[in-house]
Structure 1
Amino acid sequence: MSAAWPRQPLTAALRCRCPRCGRGQLYGSFLEVAERCGHCGLDLKEADSGDGPAVFLILGLGALFVPLALWVDSLWEPSKWLHMAIWVPLVLGTTLLLIRPLKALFILLQYRHRASDSGSRDYEP
């Protein structure tokens, strides 16, 4: 049980692991942060990523998929239902795939920089 910053923070975020030890599960359910780390006992009640991950996904995926959809439309001119059949599952699937690791990265950075919602530095490492 190590109180040090995980050696591979990006790996810990991608695997949705504890920001302190990098071993315990970060989530209790799909997007609900667990009360405590099962490995090192870190109190995760203060860990909250807010709307940051969702905003980055909206802007990032919008910047990726909108030009791609426009390019596909100008090249092949598919019908509107075909656009819906292609882009809705693609965007939803990508969002569901990326939201957990991105939220975990925000929580990991919050832990690393000892930040909290109130702006105080009482999120104890």
Structure 2
Amino acid sequence: MTSGSPETNKGQPGIGQAALFGLCPRCGEKTMFDGVLAFSGKCSSCGLDYSRFNVGDGPAALVTLVVGTITVGLAIWLQLSVEPPWWVHALLWIPLTFALVIGLLRITKAGLLASEYGNDAREAGRRKL
């Protein structure tokens, strides 16, 4: 942000708070998400246009690697330790994987959007208006 910007740091959450709670990075209201994983078009409180931020596929790739590592590691450990029947693996790992992917994807998407806002990031070739 430049010194002539009307935006100030007052009321702005940190990246961690915005990511965990889906808070608008400008005003701190809980308006970032319109659904479980879908961003709102804009903040209903301060009018920040969320569509100008492009988080892309970075969060999905990160979450896939992290959740895959955790799930496979735990499944291998359980198999070698207890040798449960196959249905125990299905009963444990399918819901756990689903919950971790949804939860972590929401947090990483929100964190990346808040980071882009905080760093005043833009797509290449776009000038600041």
TM-score range (shorter-chain normalised) is 0.7 to 0.9
CA distance in 1, matches of 2:36, 2:51: 16
TM-score by length of 2: 0.82
How do residues 65-80 of structure 1 correspond to structure 2 at under 5 angstroms?
65-80=71-86
- Given that residues 12 and 22 in structure 1 are in contact (C-alpha distance below 8 angstroms), is that contact kept between their aligned partners in structure 2? yes
Counterpart in 1 of 2:7? 3
Aligned-partner Cα distance in 1 for 2:14–2:40: 21
2:110 is matched with which residue: 93, 104, 124?
104
The answer to whether the 8 Å contact 2:26/2:48 transfers is yes
Q: Could you tell which deviates more after superposition, 4-13 or 40-49? A: 4-13
Point out where structure 1 has 5 or more consecutive residues left out of the alignment: none
TM-score scaled to structure 1, two decimals? 0.84
Identity %: 32
- Give the total of aligned pairs: 122
Alignment pair present for 1:32 and 2:38: yes
> What's 1:23 paired with?
29
Q: Which whole-Å CA distance do the structure 2 matches of 1:16 and 1:120 have between them? A: 29
Shift of 1:3: 2.5
- What RMSD over aligned residues (CA atoms) do the two structures have, in Å? 2.1
Letter aligned with residue 76 of structure 1 = V
Letter in structure 2 aligned against 1:25: T
Structure 1 outlier segments of 4+, above 4 Å: 120-124
Q: Distance in 2 between matches of 1:62 and 1:14?
A: 21
- Distance in 2 between the 1:40 and 1:105 partners? 19
Once residues 123 and 74 of structure 1 are traced to their aligned partners in structure 2, the CA distance between those partners, rounded to angstroms, is 57
- The worse-fitting range, judged by mean Cα deviation, of 38-47 and 69-78 is 38-47
CA–CA separation in structure 2 for the residues paired with 1:71 and 1:82: 13
Select 1:119's aligned residue among 120, 124, 129.
124
Deviation at 1:9, TM superposition (A): 2.4
